[in-house]
Structure 1
């Protein structure tokens, strides 16, 4: 595969510790930066159903000063604001996020608001159709943070957060590169706290992102290396996760794939093939609370591949090569169809629905979903984003 000789590569200096018993590295990292007051952010579910919060408190020892165990899916704005008040009372010099993507994003949003001393509505990125997004410049210092992941989230090594607000725009984005984590810990015991359905859904989200990224023409050599390795780890370990859900090493491999996907996307700030794109899966999750991110993205990704087949057969053929399903003499169109079949086969073996009807999505909701997606701004998605409601309805019909 050809790679671009012209590229920009950014490599944030985040330390990653992985192992069946990697949690003790948290204390060493806290000591390394001279932290004296560590504040934990996690979900209520994690606090009540596992011993991970108590294990982390034990590792931190006298450095621990409090916790906010209320992180929730989509990071609702009132909850984030409550977290800011709890953190203010604790006066931390280190924030430790224990959990998956929602907890990581909630902790990052708390860090931004705490540092700036302002609310979400004063700081979120403004989107105006036809114009570049207006990103607030957040210059104040931020409390350092360390992540103890429980799911293979691709939101780990980032400098932004998105909170959910009942007032449109519902998805309000905050950005400050100073909130990138100092360290990420992939501890086998921590990763085993996530139920299999959640861990599988999050891993499918990672896989879907890598499937999209490998279709991108002319990536940098660095990004391509990360994407290929991430795809290989997912393709090998997703079936193993279902067969051996209690194996910490399988979970560590999938979490590593997520960090590779994260690094590939953040290092080049690009990705995806030549065709149209959409974040319609977000609207599915907002309207149908039972639908996971991975399942929603799987169905929409397959629909997008079919919608874009004529204009992006080359990218989909690259995917077929990466999955090992392109026959020696197959043309691009034939290879693209083989990639489609391979994805459907893998998702079926994993028990992941690939059709919207199998997820309980009503066709009568298609128009409302399409209109909601058109109205929702999205940072960095404008160039190839589908903004025609009729085309989005057609996409959902293809994914039905």
Structure 2
């Protein structure tokens, strides 16, 4: 047998996708199929105050809605997550529906984990083991089933993790449990239109970055590559359309589908350095995580190039780079980001020079930093952030 025979393990989790005017009807059937009767909606205040959106949700789900928790906050800070956990318990929830963007999805998942495990979050989160490696504790308690009705594109739809930010320490506390994956997603055109176009743009940049980093993985999985390439194609096509037609529905729904593909594909390949750095730098900036991640992406591509020279070709093909060598492909990404008006320096998005060292320390404890093709040491992280600054 040839030594270069492809070997992989690709397990597709159960997931149902509904899109269009009757998508919420599909969600109602999912709740009925699962036998749930007390679903709690988890969202930001703006969604809860959107009359038409809430009317559609209540009309579709009826008496199965046991309550609405509208205390979601950007970056899913620990106090808001703990409030959500308390709400789920008091409502006797038997299902959770995240309505909104990535923060709603993460808050819903994290609150469900805290509710089920009933322990301090620091006992549950990813941490350094005795040998210095990052370890995610096994979370054995049964979890509430989750569904998502999004208002923005986010790769979080398909993930099994939830990262909570402790505002007191600035730490990112990462929780991981395959049982907390969403059962499905309902892409409703009215809910898709509730988010400001700027927020959709920011979230889509995260989708783009996740797709590129996934394609630069060492993982040889053509099924994941297909998901990621298509996600990248869709973002390249539809994000300019969003900027030209910010109030139309089609670009928003298409970008949400791209987010689903990017999230599913990167689930097999892992995260990457740009993702880890944006997790650390994003809360210290005036821009969304997607903007910060996209800004850092070319720097990370150059850092990773020597480890995965052969992986640049697929990105180059999608972007129609003049050749598929790493520098030409990286320049093509830079040109795309310039077209999308992404800032080029961290100082342009409010990151101060004295925040770089602390950001580097937090990034070193991020699981995603170990998933890239080349794992940096602290000095290399500082140098990369300094160059980007």
Query: Does TM-score exceed 0.5, indicating one fold?
Result: yes
1:67-99 per-position Cα deviation (integer Å, ceiling 9, x unaligned): 110111121112111111111111122211101
After TM superposition, give the deviation of residue 337 of structure 1 in Å.
Answer: 2.9
Cα RMSD (Å): 2.4
1:292 has 2:288 as partner: yes
Aligned residues: 385
Q: What does 1:119-268 correspond to in 2, within 5 Å?
A: 119-128=120-129, 130-166=131-167, 168=169, 170-217=171-218, 219-266=220-267, 268=268
The structure with the greater share of residues assigned to helix is 2
Change (3 A) 1:277 1:348: closer
1:93 has 2:109 as partner: no
Change (3 A) 1:71 1:359: same
Higher alpha-carbon deviation: 346-355 or 66-75: 346-355
Any unmatched runs of 5+ in structure 2?
Answer: none
Change (3 A) 1:379 1:339: closer
Contact kept? 2:210, 2:266, Cα under 8 Å: no
> Per the alignment, in what secondary structure is the counterpart of residue 74 of structure 1?
coil
> Per the alignment, in what secondary structure is the counterpart of residue 142 of structure 1?
coil
Higher alpha-carbon deviation: 358-367 or 147-156: 358-367
Change (3 A) 1:354 1:57: same
Contact kept? 2:44, 2:73, Cα under 8 Å: yes
1:281 has 2:298 as partner: no
> Per the alignment, in what secondary structure is the counterpart of residue 206 of structure 1?
helix
Change (3 A) 1:312 1:123: closer
After TM superposition, give the deviation of residue 41 of structure 1 in Å.
Answer: 0.7
> Per the alignment, in what secondary structure is the counterpart of residue 142 of structure 2?
coil
Contact kept? 2:284, 2:351, Cα under 8 Å: no
Of 385, 393, 397, the match for 2:375? 385
After TM superposition, give the deviation of residue 124 of structure 1 in Å.
Answer: 1.9
After TM superposition, give the deviation of residue 380 of structure 1 in Å.
Answer: 6.6
Contact kept? 1:278, 1:386, Cα under 8 Å: no
Give the TM-score normalised by structure 1: 0.88
CA distance in 1, matches of 2:53, 2:149: 10
Paired position in structure 1 for 2:347: 357
Higher alpha-carbon deviation: 51-60 or 293-302: 51-60
After TM superposition, give the deviation of residue 168 of structure 1 in Å.
Answer: 5.0
CA distance in 1, matches of 2:306, 2:225: 24
CA distance in 2, matches of 1:57, 1:236: 34
After TM superposition, give the deviation of residue 338 of structure 1 in Å.
Answer: 2.7
Contact kept? 2:134, 2:367, Cα under 8 Å: no
Contact kept? 1:144, 1:179, Cα under 8 Å: yes
After TM superposition, give the deviation of residue 207 of structure 1 in Å.
Answer: 0.4
Change (3 A) 1:23 1:316: same
After TM superposition, give the deviation of residue 372 of structure 1 in Å.
Answer: 4.1
Change (3 A) 1:222 1:308: closer
Change (3 A) 1:34 1:163: same
CA distance in 1, matches of 2:299, 2:376: 13
1:203-253 per-position Cα deviation (integer Å, ceiling 9, x unaligned): 110001111222235621211111111111111111111111222121111
Paired position in structure 2 for 1:102: 103
> Per the alignment, in what secondary structure is the counterpart of residue 23 of structure 1?
helix
Change (3 A) 1:32 1:74: same
Paired position in structure 1 for 2:57: 56
> Per the alignment, in what secondary structure is the counterpart of residue 356 of structure 2?
helix
Change (3 A) 1:218 1:132: closer
After TM superposition, give the deviation of residue 21 of structure 1 in Å.
Answer: 4.3
Contact kept? 2:369, 2:375, Cα under 8 Å: no
1:341 has 2:331 as partner: yes
CA distance in 2, matches of 1:353, 1:399: 11
Contact kept? 2:15, 2:184, Cα under 8 Å: yes
